[in-house]
Amino acid sequence: MMGDFRDRAYDSYVSSFKRSQLKEDESKTDRRKQEYDYRYMPFIREFEHSTPILELGCGPGLLLQHMREKGFTNITGIDISKEQVDIAQKKGLNVLNENALKFLKDNYSLYKVILAIDFIEHFSKDELFSLFSGINRSLEPHGVLIIQTPNGQGLFPGQVIYGDLTHMTIFAEDSLKYILQYHGFNDIKFYETAPIPNNLEGKMRLGLWKIIRSIVRIIRQIEAKNTSKIWTDNMVCVSKKIR
């Protein structure tokens, strides 16, 4: 599927849009690793290091590289951007230049964990039904799916939603929960991508965020009886394949 403007955009995704991936300073690397440890690794570290793990839309392999440093040995990534795949392969990572829809269709019950970090928003609604069917097919029974995606109900979602030309579909909690349940997932949990309390500054930012979030929740409750607990620009969702 696809075959539209996204194909042209992905051909030069790094050279035209993600130039920062070509060079990263040490402080940025440290912050990124702290984010990985705080947001995603708690859902992965319970598994044996030989567990088969797939990352969809892995880009230059930053998260895969971090998992390798943590001892995971059976990790695979795919990405449609050849520029990003070339960067990842130079790091010695098992990364393939593949269309996710085709790749998932051809691989059955191979993975215990699938990660889709900043990925599903790049697909149209029609494509998403094929995508989630493929994810279900490629996961082992009771396998885990970890998603991060822009939160359409966040306070300022526009900067994330419109910050990438290839974004096609934006989710809120209810819509993402619906498509997951439709495709055979349960035990669905959502998490904010709030500031990380790794130092004094992080703790202060998190404290201020909690105050702001409380005020907004009161306003929304008064205005529309909105019960959402996720107000950050992005949200993390973890679910399990039913069988």
Is residue 233 within 8 Å of 155, Cβ to Cβ?
A: yes
Tens digit of each residue's pLDDT (9 = 90 or more) over 209-234:
999 988 888 887 887 776 678 899 99
pLDDT band at 3 (very low <50, low <70, confident <90, very high): low
The pLDDT of residue 123 is: 95
pLDDT band at 2 (very low <50, low <70, confident <90, very high): low
**CB neighbour burial string for 49-83, b if at least 16 within 10 angstroms, e if fewer:** eebbbbbbbbbbbbbbbbbbeeebebbbbbbbbeb
Beta strands 185-192; 111-117: pairing state:
unpaired
Share of the chain above pLDDT 70, in %: 92
The pLDDT of residue 71 is: 96
The pLDDT of residue 24 is: 61
Tens digit of each residue's pLDDT (9 = 90 or more) over 33-72:
999 999 999 999 989 999 999 999 999 999 999 999 999 9
**Which has more confidence, 219 or 152?**
152
- The domains of the chain, with CATH numbers, are 5-194+232-241 (3.40.50.150)
Mean pLDDT of 7-21: 70
Is residue 163 within 8 Å of 37, Cβ to Cβ?
A: no
